[in-house]
């Protein structure tokens, strides 16, 4: 019984540090597996299967290598990586496995994820209604078409729970033909637009938004001092 209660309590909490994600195929910049000392310009094939959130760092991923690079004509090392795993691979080290003429130029950290992770406590969600159509990502002052994968949201720190400071991380990869095609990014709401031609017309120009400083709570109202108001429910005369 005690074990059951502990398991139920744990399952009710938000994930801490690491979560499963909708896995996706990717290429890993090989220099990230060798302390950036060598292998620049080489890539290892992998599946990204989980995400880590560490405050003041970029998102990072658990990856399992597939060894598919051994099927490339210019690879001569055999399948030495298939099934090997790597924890906390930074988002900057991943490239989506999509049709490309060449691998993309690496992104600087502040472009790939403008705001670092806000907490270890987080949730991962796929927002189904906006997951099918292309997204528009604003990166370094320019707009690029992108594909949405999932969203990471944060809680249980002062920054994450401050209405004026909270940021989500929408994980996307660039699909537009450009020097960054295939790169993964993690962008907040004010750097993206979701499109859905059947449901809305995509806007043009900057939305007139300002972060809210307000926290809304019913139980802080003075009426809660009066039981006749607080308990004025359907079953009272």
Alpha-carbon distance of 59 to 39, in angstroms, equals 23
What is the pLDDT, as a whole number, of residue 6?
Answer: 42
Question: Phi/psi of residue 218, each to 5°?
Answer: -70, -40
9, part of any domain: no
165, part of any domain: yes
Nearest CA-CA partner of 30 in 117, 94, 79: 94
235, part of any domain: no
What is the pLDDT, as a whole number, of residue 118?
Answer: 97
Q: What is the pLDDT along the chain (237 residues), one digit of tens a residue?
A: 444 444 444 445 778 999 999 999 999 999 999 999 999 999 999 999 999 999 999 999 999 999 999 999 999 999 999 999 999 999 999 999 999 999 999 999 999 999 999 999 999 999 999 999 999 999 999 999 999 999 999 999 999 999 999 999 999 999 999 999 999 999 999 999 999 999 999 999 999 999 888 888 888 899 888 888 888 887 766
What is the pLDDT, as a whole number, of residue 7?
Answer: 42
Cβ count near 51 (within 10 Å) = 25
Q: Which helix (H) or strand (E) holds 137?
A: strand 135-139
Tokens of 86: 């790597």
CB 171 within 8 A of CB 192: no
What is the extent of the structural domain holding 53?
A: 15-228
Alpha-carbon distance of 101 to 163, in angstroms, equals 42
What is the pLDDT, as a whole number, of residue 3?
Answer: 43
Count how many domains the chain has. 1
6, part of any domain: no
> pLDDT of 64-121, one tens digit each?
999 999 999 999 999 999 999 999 999 999 999 999 999 999 999 999 999 999 999 9
Cβ count near 93 (within 10 Å) = 25
- Kindly state the DSSP code that residue 121 receives in the 8-state scheme: B
77, part of any domain: yes
Helices (H), 30-186: 109-112
53, part of any domain: yes
CB 122 within 8 A of CB 154: yes
114, part of any domain: yes
200, part of any domain: yes
């Amino acid at each position: 019984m005690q074990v059951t209660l502990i398991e139920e309590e744990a399952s009710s909490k938000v994930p801490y540090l690491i979560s499963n994600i909708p896995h996706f195929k990717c290429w890993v910049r090989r220099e990230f597996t060798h302390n950036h000392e060598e292998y620049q310009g080489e890539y290892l094939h992998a599946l990204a299967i989980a995400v880590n959130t560490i405050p003041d760092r970029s998102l990072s991923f658990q990856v399992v290598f597939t060894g598919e690079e051994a099927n490339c004509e210019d690879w001569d090392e055999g399948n030495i990586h298939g099934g090997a795993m790597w924890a906390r691979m930074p988002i900057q080290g991943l490239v989506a496995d999509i049709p490309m003429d060449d691998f993309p130029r690496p992104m600087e950290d502040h472009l790939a994820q403008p705001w670092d992770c806000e907490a270890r406590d987080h949730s991962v969600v796929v927002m189904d209604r906006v997951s099918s159509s292309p997204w528009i990502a604003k990166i370094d002052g320019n707009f690029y078409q992108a594909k949405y994968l999932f969203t990471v949201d944060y809680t249980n720190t002062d920054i994450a729970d401050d209405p004026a400071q909270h940021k989500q991380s929408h994980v996307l990869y660039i699909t537009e033909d450009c020097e960054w095609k295939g790169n993964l990014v993690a962008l907040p709401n004010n750097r993206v637009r979701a499109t859905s031609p059947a449901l809305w017309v995509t806007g043009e120009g900057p939305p007139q938004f300002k972060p809210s400083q307000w926290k809304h709570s019913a139980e802080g109202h003075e009426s809660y001092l009066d039981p006749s108001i607080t308990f004025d429910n359907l079953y009272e005369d």
